[in-house]
Amino acid sequence: MEKIDVGEEFYYRLANRNNLQGNGKHTAESFRKKYLQALDNEEAWEEELSYITFDFKNVKRIGPSFANEAFAYFMKYTDPETFLKKVVFINIDEVDKKIIRKELDSGYKR
């Protein structure tokens, strides 16, 4: 299973949904395509085995629109519990964990 230090390898502040939000850099769309592209199909969710671990030790904050676009996007294939078994978050603070969970529970809305 691959482990990604999100703050070091991507960016420390996860806020922009797409290139139209904020400064248009470090977007949730680009994050999803870079790290989670292999999960963008129904077959990828048939097994509940872990796929990737995101280490948030160097992430300062995640915004709801980023979490929605990067992670809740996959609710069209699976449910939050299965998602959180396949995509694992470590060293994540409680606020960021709650933001991600709230977006997973509400599903994907563009």
What pLDDT, in 10s, does the model give residues 49-72? 899 999 999 999 999 999 999 999
Q: What is the DSSP string of 33-71?
A: HHHSGGGSSGGGGSS----EEEE-TT--EE-HHHHHHHT
Q: What kind and span of H or E run contains 84?
A: helix 80-86
Segment 64-87 shows an average pLDDT of 96
pLDDT for the residue numbered 23? 78
pLDDT at 47: 86
Rounded Cα–Cα distance for residues 55 and 44 (Å)? 22
pLDDT digits (tens, 9 = 90+) for 4-50: 999 999 999 999 998 877 778 999 999 999 999 999 999 999 987 89
Rounded to two decimals, what is the model's pTM?
0.93
Q: Judging by beta carbons within 10 Å of its beta carbon (0-12, 13-18, 19+), is residue 53 exposed, middle or buried? A: middle
Look at residue 24 in the predicted model and tell me its pLDDT: 80
pLDDT of residue 16: 96
